[in-house]
Amino acid sequence: MKFAENSTQSAEYLRQAIPLMVKYNIPPNPLNYALWYTYVSNKIPNLNYKIDQTLDTYGTCPTLLGEQLFREHVISDEITESEEAQNQIIALTNTLNTQVDHAAKHTSDFGSVLEDSLRGLSETDNDDQEITSIINRLAANTASISESTTLFQKQIADAQAEIVSLKKELQKTKQDARVDPLTGLFNRRVFDSELEQIIGAPKHAEATLIMIDIDHFKKFNDEYGHLMGDKVLQYFGKLLKTECQKPTLPVRFGGEEFAILMVGKHKNDGAELAENLRQKIQAIRIKQKKSGKVISSITASFGISQRLPEETAEQMVDRADKALYHAKASGRNQVKIAS
């Protein structure tokens, strides 16, 4: 979608969007500004319908659902997330640098003219020392301005390089704070934040949590080494990414434990997904690289809880954990649902 409103209309849309974002506890970030700007403009009826449905169900718009709606209805072919906004500051310094280049050229040209004029005066019989003195001072000032401009150019170039470097560092820091580096999945911090939003939704809003634990993983690590164990975790991450489509959120909970948050899904949906994952995991065969010999198979146990009215995030996790413990106590490689 492209925004073609004039500044007055744009300001009015933003004025309407911000109170709604505050009312529904929407995080103030560029993506949400664009989403709610589009909502109040009422230019995409299907988007408004889906947002209204989400608000009726959850009393807010959970982050993952908001991202999904943004990608489906708002984002254009030319813009990827908020890269354009992030690049504006670099474009600004590029423009400033160009302007300084022009100023430097004009200063240099002016200096050349004065030097030529001074040379012409010195070659004549003009004895007007006052005029010569004035021109000498102008030439000296021009040289000083030229030096200052050159220094300023260098400072702008240094600042520009620093901005690019800081932008890269900021992006990496944000990514590191949210993503587990080994598996590429979101981490516990993201899980906690998303679960709190789910718990804060109206009582009738459905949500399901799946807790997953790799069976006998410590024994596997002790027998085959941590490098092989890391490969198993990486495969787990890849499998969960493939099987869990947004807004379903897979995360690395910690160690060999993973979790999946399913917004708007019943526990039966969770059981279906868990069983699908269980079968694919047990089909994994770990082979020695040199000999090709199968050295071990991998299985996992699953515990599922569906959100209950009035329960806290901790209680929902605890019920899923107890179901997971039940799966392990029953022989592992099983899916159990909390009562």
Residues 320/232/268/201 CA torsion (nearest 10 deg): 60
Q: Would you name the residues annotated as active-site residues?
A: 256
Number of neighbouring beta carbons within 10 Å of residue 121: 14
What burial letters (b/e) apply to 124-151, b meaning 16+ CB within 10 Å?
Answer: eeeeeeeeeeebeeebeebeebeeebee
Residues 219 and 282 sit within 8 Å (Cβ to Cβ):
no
Q: Which tokens sit at 296?
A: 């071990």
CA distance 85 to 89: 8
Torsional class of 59: left (φ above 0), alpha (ψ -120 to 50), beta (otherwise): left
Q: Which residue has the tokens 């003009």?
A: 126
322 DSSP β-pair partners:
none
Residues 163, 166, 172, 176, CA torsion sign:
negative
Write the DSSP symbol of residue 179: B
Within 70-224, residue ranges assigned H as helices are 83-122, 129-178, 188-199, 217-224
Place of tokens 């030229």: 146
